[in-house]
Amino acid sequence: MQRHLLTIFLAATAASAVTTPFSFPSLPDLVASPKTPSTPFPLSAARHPSKICVVDPEATDAGPALISAARECNNGGTVVLLPDTTYTIASPTDLTFLQSVDVLILGTVVFSDDVEYWQTRAFGYPYQDAHLFWKFGGRDVNIYGLGIGTLDGLGQTWWTAKRSNETLYRPILFGTDGLFGGSVSGLNMKNSPFWFNVIMNSSDILITDINIWIEVTNSSSPPANTDGWDTYRSTNIVIQNSTIDNYDDCVSFKPNSTNIIVQNLQCNGSHGISVGSLGQYQGEYDIVEDVYVYNISMSNASDGARIKIWPGVPPNTTGSNSGGGAGYVRNVTYDLFYNTNTDWAIELTQCYFASSQEACNEYPAVLLVEDILFKNFYGITSARHDPRVGTLVCSDPSGGGNGRYLITEKGANSDTQVCKNIRAENIAVAPPSAVTAEWICTNMDEGLLDVNCIAA
């Protein structure tokens, strides 16, 4: 069906101007499956089949061409990037005005690798110095590539440049800022300079059928920070049915990620599906809540399921950017997880970057971790920590000493228990030696953990 429509579409495009109505591959039915969001996604308004705006394939900078096609097709049309065409975006491209419009990417979108240029031009955000080449926002927007469309970040130039300046801004390949309702599907994404995707200030988005990978051409300048997806200040997001081959988190839930489903992913070479890090900044309040991670195949990774929380800081420390931030992680489930050659099948820590467990016990996390469930974990870890396969570490919950206050929505209270109801059920993960698997469990309620805890 897609091939047939594509043929008609190409013939029509070649033969006539955009004014003649013609067929083009419409948005496939996209469903969140098998898990569905607790709040159903809003319905997309009907698109006019003849309202099509082809992005000028001749434009030397595809940025302004894309913006003008989007303005023309806004409110019910479809913007089309033609197949067998390379579009180069060479200037910051603000697509946050979109309303009920689709963007069909059948060609390749490349981002200029003029490192110097983007330092001052990319859209910059204070959070982790995130920068974007382009940003999508608005309401009811479907960006789709039917497995053909490709985004290419020319990452190697950036990874090499990073070697001479560690703090150089490296833009994210795809980002939303204030996108309410819509989808991102069927895209190939390769060689991102930094994270592949960031979903910020957004809600009600289905992301499906994405293929992410990295090609290194200079092994002296390896990729860094190439997370698959990061969510931030966003709610009701589903990420599913995708393959991710990268060198950092497969998916990472950053502050204020709620109602997120991640399912049917194949992650390779990654740092796991991660909550956090959270609690890094004193004075900030980070929330990750109602997250369901289902059916993940994780290979050649440092971690499978991961939760990383910074510990507290000494009393009266001000402006610390290494822990002491408040908030909570609540109601997070990891269900059905297949490990192959992962260093830790599960790594939960409330002592992220603490110099020692003692230091962490002295100044425990002020960010609560509760109602966490790990269940149905299978597979074999790497030999790295054999016979240990997982690690579950909380700050000392026993209280005593300075600064041990849990900061809740209602303010500080004297409840010092910063880890609550952390469970592990049906965990069948073995080390390669096939001896009995061992787990590091520190300050945990071991009665809730169906694993073989050993003293650390």
Size of the site for ligand NAG (CB under 6 A): 47
CA distance 350 to 259: 22
Does 235 contact ligand NAG by CB under 6 A?
Answer: no
Q: Return the residue of 155, 255, 312, 387 that touches ligand NAG, per CB under 6 A.
A: 255
Among 23, 44, 96, 266, binds ligand NAG (CB under 6 A): 266
In the complex with ligand NAG, which residue's Cβ is closer, 71 or 121? Answer: 121
Q: Is 220 in the site for ligand NAG (CB under 6 A)?
A: yes
Which of 315, 321, 399, 428 is close enough to bind ligand NAG by CB under 6 A?
315
Provide, rounded to whole angstroms, the least separation between the CB of residue 153 and ligand NAG: 16
The correct pick among 231, 264, 339, 391 for binding ligand NAG (CB under 6 A) is 264
Q: With binding defined as CB under 6 A, does residue 379 bind ligand NAG?
A: no
Binding mask 47-76 for ligand NAG (x = CB under 6 A): ------------------------------
Q: Which is nearer to ligand NAG, 21 or 315 (CB)?
A: 315
Q: In the set 38, 75, 86, 433, which binds ligand NAG (CB under 6 A)?
A: 38
- Tell me how far, at minimum, the Cβ of 355 lies from ligand NAG, in Å: 19
Q: Is 168 in the site for ligand NAG (CB under 6 A)?
A: yes
Is there binding between residue 218 and ligand NAG (CB under 6 A)?
yes
Asked if 205 touches ligand NAG (CB under 6 A), the answer is no
For residue 39, state whether it binds ligand NAG (rule: CB under 6 A): no
Task: Examine the residue annotation and report whether 271 is marked as an active-site residue of this protein.
Answer: yes
Please state, in angstroms and rounded to a whole number, the distance separating the CA atoms of residues 271 and 254: 15
The minimum distance between CB 106 and ligand NAG, in angstroms, equals: 18
CA distances from 155 to 118, 206, 219, 229, 334 (A): 14, 26, 13, 16, 31
Q: Which of residues 82-121 bind ligand NAG (CB under 6 A)?
A: 119
| Alpha carbon separation from 158 to 92, 115, 312, 450 (Å, rounded) | 17, 7, 35, 45
User: Looking at the annotation, which residues are catalytic?
Assistant: 271
The residue ranges that bind ligand NAG (CB under 6 A) are: 30-31, 33-34, 38, 119, 125, 160, 163, 165, 167-169, 177, 200-201, 208-209, 218, 220-221, 233, 240-241, 245, 255-256, 264, 266, 268-269, 284-287, 290-292, 295, 297, 299-300, 315-316, 331, 341, 402
